[in-house]
Amino acid sequence: MADQSGSILETPMHFRPDRGFDHAVPSEITPRAVYEGRRDWLRRLSAGALGTGLAGWAGRDALAQASAKGAPLPGGKSAVVGANVMDAVTPRGLSTTYNNFYEFGTDKADPARNAHTLKTRPWTVVVEGAVAKPRTYGIDDLLKLAPMEERIYRLRCVEGWSMVVPWVGWSLAALIKQVEPTGNAKFVEFHTLADPKTMPFVGSRVLEWPYVEGLRMDEAMHPLTMLVFGMYGEVLPNQNGAPLRLAVPWKYGFKSGKSIVKIRFTEQQPKTAWVKAAAQEYGFYSNVNPKVDHPRWSQATERRLGEDGIFAKKRPTLMFNGYESQVGQLYAGLDLAKNY
Amino acid sequence: MAPAAPAAATHTMNKLLLHPAAKPLLFALALLPFAQLLWGAVANTLGANPAEALIRGTGDWVLRFLCITLAVTPLREAFGLTGLARLRRMLGNFAFFYGVLHFLCYAWLDMGLDLTGIVADIPKRPFILVGTLALLLMAPLAATSFNRAIQALGAARWKRLHQAVYAIGLLGLLHFFWMRAGKNDFGEWTIYAVVMAVLLGWRVRQALRRRAASRPPGARATS
C-alpha cells in the first residue's frame, strides 16, 4: 500500500476547498445591455434596410418576451452557500419558451403553446411513505411554509444546453423536517401531475406516466435542493412547472420534476421515468459530469442559451455543474462513471 | 394497368414539367428552406437554441429531398409523367447539398470545427457514424451527376453506382431513428419510414414482376 502521508491540515484528496463557485471566465459573460442591444440593432437594421414589412418578423420573439407576465412572487436574499451564481441570467423570453415538459409535447416550443390548459388551483401535494407525519398540503400552505428566497442557479440540460435562472422558493429540507422521515426513508420520490384532460401528451408512449423522479435522502436534504414556486420574481409560468417544481442545480435538468403532486419517502431506490425509458442512456444519479458522455453526444461542453452566439465555441461543462464545492462530498467514494 | 390519370391531364402535366421555366423554378423552390434557415439565423428567429434548429432543420431537408428524389421514378411510371425524369438529378443534388450543410452545421455549431474532436466523435457514436456514411456515399453520386460522367462510366455501371441511393435512404432513416431512440419519440420518424417503405417497396415489386416476366413460360409451372 502506498503511504498516504500528509498532515491533517492538508486538503483531503477528494475534497476541494469551498471556494464558493467555479466560474466561467468573466470576460466571456456578455453584459445584459450588449445582449439586448443586439436585438435592437437587428430590429433597426430590418426596419431600415429591408423595409418595415420585415421589421415585424424580426421583432416577433421580442413580442413573445413581453407577453404573459405572472403575478409577483418576490424572494429574499438566500444565505445558502452557492445560491447565487455570478453568471449572466438567461432572458425570461428564452427560459419560458424553450422547455422540456413532455406532458405538453415533445417539441421545446410546445409547452409554452399548450400549457395554458394546466389548472394550478386548487392544488394539493401528498407527502407520504416512510414519515412520522404524513400530510396533504394545499398550495397555499406550501407558499407559507418557509420564507421565499431568490436563488440564481445554473440549469444544465442533459441535451447539452444550459440556462441561468433566478428561481423563487425554499430549501426542500424545510418540508422534509416537518414530516419527520423515519429510519426507513432512504430515498425521496417525486410524482408529477399526469392529467390527460389538461395535458395533451399524457398517453403518448414516449414515457411512462406519471413522470417520476427521485433523489437520495442526503441529496434531498442538501440546502441547494430547492422547491420552486416562482422565477424572475413572479409566479412560475405553467410551462416551467407551475405551481411547484424542483430545482437540483448539480444534476441534469430532467431530475427536477415539474408540477409536483406527490412526495413519497421510500426505502428502495425509485424507478425514475428516464431510467425506465432508456436505462443505458440515463442513470438514477444523473449528476452533471463533463467526463461521463451520454452515449449519443459528449457532455464535456454546453451551449449557454441566449448568450453564446450560434457560431461561438461551446463552453466547458463544469463538474457537478460548478457546484462541486457544495455537493462533491455527497459522492465521496462513489464511482461516478458507473453511477451515472 | 389502367392509367391512373386521364390522358389529357397527364399531357398537360408533362407539358408543364417540360416548360423551360420548370427547372429554374424548382431550383428556386429547393433553395427556399436554405434561405429560410439563413434568414432565421441572421434575424435570430430560430428560437432559444438556433444552433440546434439549424442542425435539425438541414437534416430534415436531407430526408425530405431523398424521399422526393426516390418518388420520381414511381410517379413517372405510375402516372406516365415522363417529364419528371429530367428533374431527378437536381433533386438528388439538393439532397446532397442539404447533407453537406447538415454536416457543416454539426461540425461547426456542435463541434466548433475541432477536427480531432470530430474525428473522435464519429466512430464513437453509431448514429453519427451512420449519418457520415450516408453522406460519404452520396458524394460519388453527386460527383457523377453530369452527362459526361454517364458516358464515361457507361450507362449500366452508372446506374448500378446510383442504386446506392437506396442504401443512403435507409442509412438516413437509421440515423434519424437512433437520434430519436433515446427519447422514444418516433412520431415524425414513422412518417419518413412509411414514405420510404412505399417508395422502396414499389421498386421491389417492379423487380419481382420483371423477373417473373423474363422467365421462360415453362419455368413458371415448376416454381
Q: Does A50 touch chain B (CB under 8 A)?
A: no
Map grid coordinates 414556486 to a residue. Answer: A229
pTM: 0.79
* Mean pLDDT over the full length of chain A: 86
Q: Was domain A71-331 assigned CATH 3.40.50.970?
A: no
- pLDDT recorded at residue A47: 42
In whole angstroms, give the CA distance from residue B196 to residue B78: 17
pLDDT of A204: 85
Closest CA to B89 of B132, B140, B141, B133: B141
At residue B123, the pLDDT reads 87
pLDDT per residue over B86-103, tens digit each?
A: 999 999 999 999 999 999
**Predicted confidence (pLDDT) at residue A43 exceeds the cutoff of 90:** no
Grid cell, residue B164, equals 446506392
Res. B223: pLDDT tops 90: no
B47, B49, B182 member nearest A303 (Cβ)? B49
pLDDT at A10: 47
Over the stretch A215-239, which tens digit does the pLDDT of each residue have?
A: 999 999 999 999 999 999 999 999 9
- Helix residue spans in chain B (DSSP H): 7-17, 22-43, 50-79, 88-105, 115-124, 126-143, 147-153, 155-162, 164-181, 187-214, 217-222
| Chain A nearest C-alpha distance from B209 (Å) | 39
CB A315 within 8 A of CB A308: yes
Lowest mean pLDDT among A295-304, B65-74, B178-187: B178-187
Grid cell for residue A93: 423570453
A232 contacts A172 by C-beta, under 8 angstroms: no
State the pLDDT confidence band at A14, using cuts at 50, 70 and 90.
low
Cβ–Cβ of A296/B125 closer than 8 Å? yes
pLDDT given at position A35: 53
Of the residues B42, B46, B52, the best mutation for testing chain A's interface (the one with the most A CB atoms within 10 Å of its CB) is: B52
Could you give the count of Cα atoms lying within 13 Å of A63 in the half-sphere of its Cβ?
A: 8
Name the residue ranges covered by the structural domains of chain A: 27-67, 71-331
Contact A295 B54 (CB under 8 A): no
Task: State the Rg of chain A over Cα.
Answer: 21
Question: Are the Cβ atoms of A57 and B112 closer than 8 angstroms?
Answer: no
pLDDT recorded at residue A308: 78
3-state secondary structure of A302: strand
Select the more confidently predicted residue: A48 or B198: B198
**Percent of chain B at pLDDT above 90?**
76
- B60-72 pLDDT per residue, tens: 999 999 999 999 9
pLDDT digits (tens, 9 = 90+) for B101-160: 999 999 999 888 889 989 988 988 889 999 999 999 999 999 999 999 999 999 999 999
Taking all residues of chain B, what is their mean pLDDT, rounded to a whole number?
A: 91
Q: Do A305 and B183 touch (CB under 8 A)?
A: no
d(CA A166, CA A75): 10
- Residue in A58, A95, A207 closest to B184 by CB: A207
Cβ proximity of B115 and B93 under 8 Å: no
Q: How confident is the model at residue A17 (pLDDT cuts 50, 70, 90)?
A: low
A residues 90-109 lying closer than 8 A (beta carbon) to B: 94-95, 97-98, 106, 108-109
Measured distance CA(A187)–CA(B50) in Å, rounded: 38
Residues in chain B: 223
Chain B residues touching A311 at Cβ < 8 A: 108-109
Pairing between β-strand A234-235 and β-strand A226-231 as defined by DSSP bridges: antiparallel
Whether B41 sits inside 8 A of A303 (CB atoms) is no
What is residue A49's predicted lDDT score, i.e. its pLDDT? 41
Compute the average pLDDT of residues A151-169.
Answer: 97
A255 pLDDT higher than 90 = yes
How high is the pLDDT of residue A313? Answer: 82
* Alpha-carbon distance values, B211 to B155, B204, B207, B208, B220 (Å): 21, 11, 6, 5, 11
Contacts of residue B41 in chain A, CB cutoff 8 Å?
A: 310
